[in-house]
Amino acid sequence: MSEPASISAGIAGRYATAVFELAREAKDLKALEADVDALQAALDESADLRSMIASPVYSRDAQSTAVAALAKAMKLSGTVANTLALMASNRRLFVLPQLLSALRDMIA
């Protein structure tokens, strides 16, 4: 694995572990699974969403506003919505595909 891919996997793994543990403690793994599936479908279907999470051209505020609107429109759980907001404020949305993959592995 290349160094940037390894770093991205490490970042995604830390977020995934935190989200999974929060959902497990809340006994809300079914909602987490539904959120993961919905976000994956959104990424698969929307080139604009893929661009927004990957491009450094979008400001932190623009990304934060976009993920807040996305979370509200998709009716994502509070845990996932808050995680997306944190990732946007930390400029880490680029690891969202790896995060979803890691969460799918943990849920399985």
The distance between the two most distant Cα atoms of the chain, rounded to a whole number of Å, is 38
Q: What is the rounded CA–CA span in Å between residue 80 and residue 90?
A: 15
The residue written with tokens 């009716």 in the block is 75
> Is the pTM here over 0.85, yes or no?
yes
Residue-level pLDDT at 9: 86
Residue type, 104: R
Residue-level pLDDT at 1: 52
**Domains, in order of start, for the chain:** 3-107 (1.10.520.20)
pLDDT mean for each 10 residues of the chain (108 residues): 72 96 96 98 97 95 97 98 97 97 96
Residue-level pLDDT at 4: 67
Residue-level pLDDT at 62: 96
Two tokens, residue 78: 């509070």
Two tokens, residue 65: 């506003």
User: Which backbone phi and psi does 101 adopt, to 5 degrees?
Assistant: -65, -45
